[in-house]
Structure 1
Amino acid sequence: MMIGGRTEMQNKLQTIEKLFLYFLMAAIIGWCYEVFLEVVVYRWGFQNRGVLFGPYCPVYGVGMLAFLLCFGKFAKMQLSWRVRWARPILIFLGCGAVATLIELAVSYLLEWTTGSWPWQTYADYAINFQARVALSPSVRFGIGGVLFLYLLRPLFAKITGLMSEKVLHVVSITAAVIMGLDLICTVLFKLFL
């Protein structure tokens, strides 16, 4: 079926490519955030905070996609002025809960596949569960979800919207190949070293 001179398949492909670039941008911002915490806040010195070699933390990309799926329409929904004030609070609570569940699931997955998970420092937090999740990061993830849905999402949409169909395709395929190779190298490195 043609929609505005484009097939439905082309529209779906373009949506997938944009979502992948959203994922990548969120993963890079997440990596920068983690490195900032390590170097500036905790003063532990630089350490690659991602599970892959590249400057990205895929769990942030997954979280962002989950926020978009769970709360994207709600964040844009027209509400009466009487309840509009509650929306950011509900999104904050929802994003904090979703991110905590993702972080918990990923910690089990990483422990199963690699023998550990990178954020075992949660043992030092006053309120934590098995050093896998903690209240303080959950609050920060809730804030991050609000910032993403209200500030970064429109920016990401503008960036991807400025790309022609061909540029979007080339950039997303190139980034996917680089991340795929990084994943393969990381797995091989962990298996053989």
Structure 2
Amino acid sequence: MEKQTVQKLFLCFWMYAILGWCYEVFLEVVVYKWGFTNLGIMYGPYCPIYAVGALLFLLIFGRFMKKEGGLALQISRPFIVFFGSMAVATAVELTGTYILEFFTGSWPWNTYADYDINFQARIALSPSLRFGMGGLLFLYFVQSLYDRLLSKPKPKTLNIITIAVLVTVVTDFALTLIFRY
């Protein structure tokens, strides 16, 4: 894989993580009116689990989104993406709960116990449906915006941005390990 591609995937990963954090804050503050708390597992404004899901969406559905076809494909594609995104994100979330529980003793979204349809407070139907919608928005709109955004900087500028993000994330990760866990 060429350097530019790795850099762009790395930067996209952290942009997705920040977007996921913004989504969580929006839910907490605006929708549920719980007030602000940093639900991320690190100090910074990012939720890496959203980035994992987004990269998996690209890996699984990227070529499918570009595939040309007849009317049947055009009509069925959003439904396939919706249910596929729902399944992928729910699997990522379920896996994430087990990983986080193993390393930290809990997981940030254990409020799912309050949802009518949930599995061990790890996953729930309502968030899974939102993940399906998020997959549609991500694959149809957000990713093309990120692609345009990352095509603008010159390679040297992209190197500087990548190094700055890497230093920030590594520092945050180290501080998180030292002071939180």
2:94 is equivalent to residue 141 of structure 1:
no
The two structures have a TM-score, normalised by structure 1, of 0.91
Match of 2:69 in 1: 79
Structure 2, gaps ≥5 residues long: none
- CA deviation string 1:154-176 (max 9, x = no partner): 10000000011111111112101
Taking the aligned partners of 1:190 and 1:25, their CA distance within structure 2 comes to 23
Q: Tell me the amino acid that sits aligned with residue 6 of structure 2.
A: I
Q: Tell me the amino acid that sits aligned with residue 37 of structure 1.
A: L
The two structures have a TM-score, normalised by structure 2, of 0.97
Taking the aligned partners of 1:38 and 1:153, their CA distance within structure 2 comes to 25
- 1:83 is displaced (CA, Å) by 2.4
Match of 2:91 in 1: 101
Match of 1:45 in 2: 35
- CA deviation string 1:162-192 (max 9, x = no partner): 011111111112101211111111011123x
Match of 1:182 in 2: 172
Taking the aligned partners of 1:174 and 1:16, their CA distance within structure 2 comes to 15
Structure 1, gaps ≥5 residues long: 1-10
Q: Tell me the amino acid that sits aligned with residue 8 of structure 2.
A: K
Taking the aligned partners of 1:34 and 1:123, their CA distance within structure 2 comes to 17
Q: Is the 8 A contact 1:51 1:57 kept in 2?
A: yes
Match of 1:117 in 2: 107
Q: Tell me the amino acid that sits aligned with residue 97 of structure 1.
A: A
Aligned length in residues? 181
Q: Tell me the amino acid that sits aligned with residue 39 of structure 1.
A: V
- 1:134 is displaced (CA, Å) by 0.5
Match of 1:28 in 2: 18
Taking the aligned partners of 1:184 and 1:141, their CA distance within structure 2 comes to 30
Q: Tell me the amino acid that sits aligned with residue 165 of structure 1.
A: P
Divergent runs of 4+, >4 A? none
Q: Tell me the amino acid that sits aligned with residue 23 of structure 1.
A: F
Partner secondary structure for residue 85 of structure 1? helix
Match of 2:151 in 1: 161
Q: Tell me the amino acid that sits aligned with residue 174 of structure 2.
A: I
Taking the aligned partners of 2:13 and 2:78, their CA distance within structure 1 comes to 22
Q: Which has the larger radius of gyration?
A: 1
RMSD over equivalenced CA pairs, Å: 0.9
Taking the aligned partners of 1:64 and 1:169, their CA distance within structure 2 comes to 23
2:15 is equivalent to residue 15 of structure 1:
no
Identical pairs, percent: 53
- 1:82 is displaced (CA, Å) by 2.6
